Chain A
Amino acid sequence: MSQVTMTVNGKTASGDVEGRTLLSQFLRENLKLTGTHVGCDTSQCGACVVHVDGKAVKSCTMLAAEADGATVDTIEGQAEADGSLNTIQQAFQDHHGLQCGFCTPGMVMSTAALLKDNPKPTEAEIRDYLEGNICRCTGYHNIVKSIMAASGQDVGSIAAE
């Protein structure tokens, strides 16, 4: 066991981990931040996406020890200070960008990373960016719509397929 310390959603968090402890495990089991979901555990589905030093990563495929000293942002830190939904979350709600909600934490974190680099992505850029985020419910259409809306763009142009 060794100790790791990171800044998670703006607060300092420490814990004892084994070499093999995954970042997803540390967040969920040590810090009880269970909003980060583990769907596949094989780096395919993206439900576990969090930001490490501002970059989207699959927390099921990163050791907790690798994030020692890093800044980590998870879905729990996305809402506004007063607890209301942030722009991306609100857009997902408004445009029905989720059904069961299992993929949603990863979708929201990937969207946040996309919009940081590319504030007004095209529909094609959105679909390309979400290649590593799998949703079994929505058929992606309303997710793309939500992201267009979150980036302040017209959603009317996205025809239902």
Chain B
Amino acid sequence: MYNFDYEKPSTVADAVAALGDEDAQALGGGQTLIPTLKQRLASPTTLVSLSGISEMQGITDEGGSITIGGATVHADVASNGAIAALSDLAGNIGDPAVRNRGTIGGSLANNDPSACYPSAALGLGATIVTNTREIAADDYFQGMFSTALDEGEIITAVKVPKPEAANYQKFEQPASRFALVGVFVAKTSGGVRVAVTGASEEGVFRWSEAEAALNGNFSADALEGMAPDADGMIADLHGTSAYRAHLVGVMTRRAVAACS
């Protein structure tokens, strides 16, 4: 790891100021960033820790929705339970020690194509709140490791509407513990949403054909024999693109079955 200066502001305003320097970078739980720094894939001159900012911690229940502070760790979302499918998802990220450090803001900012949280944010139609604006999940994810965030912009919170029913099914890649394919299905007041992670070269995406079928008939049978096009699916040593496309169909049917 190259050396860097370390700062720990206690307010969002001070963190934004510290991140004004273009070689400064935000530090969430470090579960992705520290390994990246060890590989010398990044060389910030300053790391700005977000862990001392109390306004970015914790979960509040507003009745129809919950708001999760951007620096809230996975373990706290797992034990919350206001949206059961979201808590289950958080409780199956990595392992207990990773969940005690990794944060929702870090996961959404990183937008790893195999990460779990992006599928929940997209599937539930969440709103990403930053120090300057609110971004709908549909506009936020912009392909592998790419998001609508500007340089130095901080995810301060995530607003998540409560679904009528929801479920997340993860087919785990046993070595990395990330999703080989993960599917988040939510029945919301605006219709059914199906968000898929781990599968596409474009990162997390909504499977619109499945949504259309489920809006007509919310049952696993409505998806019988369906799978997304294998073109554009990830192919690597863990699975071919056809395998991943097939898994998307299977995991979506399981998620729907678990919803009802």
Contacts and interface: CB of A to CB of B under 8 A. Distances in A.
B231 to A, nearest CB: 33
B96 interface: yes
Interface string A59-82: 001110110100000000000000
B141 to A, nearest CB: 25
Contacts of A43: 31, 34-35, 97-98
B177 A42 contact: no
Given A18-B3, A41-B38, A56-B96, 15 more contacts: A2-B6, A19-B4, A19-B5, A20-B3, A20-B4, A43-B31, A46-B95, A58-B98, A62-B34, A66-B51, A68-B8, A131-B95, A131-B177, A132-B96, A133-B95
A120 interface: no
Contacts of B100: 55-57
Nearest to B33: A61
Contacts, number: 74
Given A19-B4, A62-B101, A132 B94 contact: yes
Residues of A in contact with B, size category: 20 to 34
Contact of A61 (B4, B5, B34): B34
Nearest to A46: B97
Nearest to A48: B97
A113 interface: yes
Contacts of A65: 6, 8, 49
Most A CB contacts (10 A, CB to CB) among B2, B3, B98 go to B98
A20 B5 CA distance: 8
Contact of A63 (B6, B94, B95): B6
Nearest to B49: A66
B120 interface: no
A41 B98 CA distance: 14
Contacts of B30: 61-63, 66
A147 interface: no
26 contacts: A2-B6, A19-B4, A19-B47, A20-B2, A20-B4, A41-B38, A43-B35, A43-B97, A57-B101, A62-B34, A62-B101, A63-B27, A63-B34, A63-B49, A65-B49, A66-B49, A129-B96, A131-B94, A131-B95, A131-B96, A131-B177, A132-B95, A132-B96, A132-B98, A132-B177, A133-B95
